[in-house]
Structure 1
Amino acid sequence: MNHVTIDVQIACDAAELPSEASFEAWVEAVLHHLNSTTETELTLRIVDPEEGLALNQQYRNKTYATNVLSFPFESPIPLPINLLGDLVICAEVVAKEAREQNKPLIAHWAHMVVHGTLHLLGYDHIEDDEAEHMEQLERDILAALGYADPYADDHADDQH
């Protein structure tokens, strides 16, 4: 079994946040699916729309708060631990998307953590073939966790 250490930073007043154990289980499910056996650390920061907008504007030149931002860690020197990087999730955006897409909130949180963790591991969805591969990984991982296909009713306005 993988061992994940997550530094959870809650920087908003959102209700109905998943437990730290849920966050760890979701990241571990990604690592297990990819046959990763290394101990892993990452930071998960849960933010309000203002901070989400500021980060999305600064790093992606987008003028809206998005659901999840991934910042992979790249060390200039070898380290004795595997630092994946930082995930920033905007709780209000996740809740709004779950309502709009008629998805259980916990399932959408799981999807955002899985999606963001895959980004930290180098997966992307810029090209169509990359997107198909990444989305299939997400489907498989979420299915193993007991969640429905997040793309079953794919919405063109999703902001990943």
Structure 2
Amino acid sequence: MSLVVEIAVEEPKWQELGDLEGFATQSMEAALRESEENPAQSAEVSLLFCDDARMRVLNRDFRGKDKPTNVLSFPGPDLPEPAPVLGDIALGYETVAREAQQQGKSFADHARHMIVHGFLHLLGYDHETEAEAAEMEAMEIRILQSFGIANPYGDPLQ
């Protein structure tokens, strides 16, 4: 499967990650390999790299929560092949940077985790129940380990 990745950068500070399209594509392709989902021969994902002000508006308008957040995923409609739109992911710079600092992680590692997390939501994974959360977290841990990133949850992989 090939991924078509569309990138929009509203917050220039995200550029410190370098090649955002490559960074995001590598992250999502690793998640796709780990996932049992295989949406089609090709799929499209859009990423918005924005600031917390924009994330607050998106979170308020789409989730009814009037506060910024680290990552939001918006699954796309089910379209016929060959290029289904998996959906959109938005990431808020200040929240991701603050969380990385608070958790003693590099900004790049935490940003990669947020992209993986958001992408898994587009593939249909969730964390509403304990069982769903355990499955999704275990996948995230394995995906991030493939990049040499330590378990973001701090607990041993079970």
TM (norm. structure 1) is 0.88
5+ residue gaps, structure 2, are none
Which residue of structure 2 lines up, in the alignment, with residue 156 of structure 1? none
Over aligned residue pairs, what C-alpha RMSD do you find? Answer: 1.6
The aligned runs of 1:7-156 (5 Å cut-off) are: 7-15=6-14, 16-19=16-19, 20-34=21-35, 36=38, 38-75=41-78, 78-152=80-154
Bigger proportion of residues as helix: 2
Q: After superposition, what is the alpha-carbon deviation per residue over 1:55-84, rounded to whole angstroms, capped at 9, x for unaligned?
A: 001111112110000000013x52431211
The letter of the residue matching 1:117 is F
Aligned length: 151
**Superposition misfits of 4+ residues, deviation over 4 angstroms:** none
Percent sequence identity over matched residues?
A: 38
The letter of the residue matching 2:17 is L
Q: After superposition, what is the alpha-carbon deviation per residue over 1:31-52, rounded to whole angstroms, capped at 9, x for unaligned?
A: 1112537322100001111110
The letter of the residue matching 2:7 is V
Q: 1:110 to 1:18 in 2, by over 3 A?
A: farther
TM (norm. structure 2) is 0.89
SS of 1:14's equivalent in the other structure is helix
